[in-house]
Amino acid sequence: MNSMQKLLLATTNPGKVTEYKTLLGHVPVEMVSLKEAGITMAVEEDGKTFEENAVKKAITYMNVSGLPTLADDGGIEIDYLNGEPGVYSRRWPGHEATDEELISMALEKLSGIPRSKRTARLRVVVALAFPGDSTVYTSEGAKRGIIGTKPINLVEGYPFRSLFYVPEIKKYYSELTIEEEAKIAHRKEALEKLIPILKQKFI
């Protein structure tokens, strides 16, 4: 294997870069973020689904960089709000919102709603694109939980995790250690289906 083989992580979110490098640490490839690759262009996420956005980002950044590229799109789907904010998670208010704005908006919309009706799921679609391969490989993962009444342990770039309580381990998503997250994470679930393809391509 060529030790210089690289995989572009198509994200500017530092938390996501760390998470991917942890979850894919056993794959024989050097992972580089958009920042590390010197790529500053942004892709307009105008798809109607997480999959459309993830595929668009993977193909666009692969074409720009010439590197195999991993991209994702995801968000939270709140049952009481008919799946909102969903694909519009970051732009829920109609503009690119801050973490604090998104948390406030979620809590406001669920004000007075009992715990039994505050169910939600975190969902992510991961896309992998390789130069010279017309197939874009996609996979998704999801984790169900409950929306709390105040943010706990806010992690920059992941506003909804501070509201998302996972009953099976009695913790908010934002309280998980890397080890705990590696066991239950929705992103891990999605990646596990793609890791065999990654390993095959990079051997």
Domain CATH number, residue 157? 3.90.950.10
pLDDT tens, per residue, the chain with 203 residues: 345 599 999 998 887 888 899 889 889 899 999 999 999 999 998 999 999 999 999 999 999 999 999 999 999 999 999 999 999 988 899 998 999 999 999 999 999 999 999 999 999 999 999 999 999 999 999 999 999 999 999 988 889 999 999 999 999 999 988 778 777 888 889 999 999 999 998 87
Under 8 Å CB-to-CB from 198, ≥6 apart: which residues? 7, 24, 27, 29, 128
Q: How far apart are the first and last CA of the chain?
A: 5
For residue 123, the enclosing domain spans 6-202
The catalytic site residues sit at 73
In a domain? residue 159: yes
Name the domain count of the chain.
1
In a domain? residue 130: yes
In a domain? residue 186: yes
Cis, bond preceding 68 (omega within 30 deg of 0):
no
In a domain? residue 1: no
Show the tokens assigned to 141.
């993962």
Positive or negative torsion for Cα 124, 80, 184, 157: positive
Does the predicted model carry a pTM greater than 0.75?
Answer: yes
In a domain? residue 133: yes
Under 8 Å CB-to-CB from 24, ≥6 apart: which residues? 7, 31, 191, 195, 198
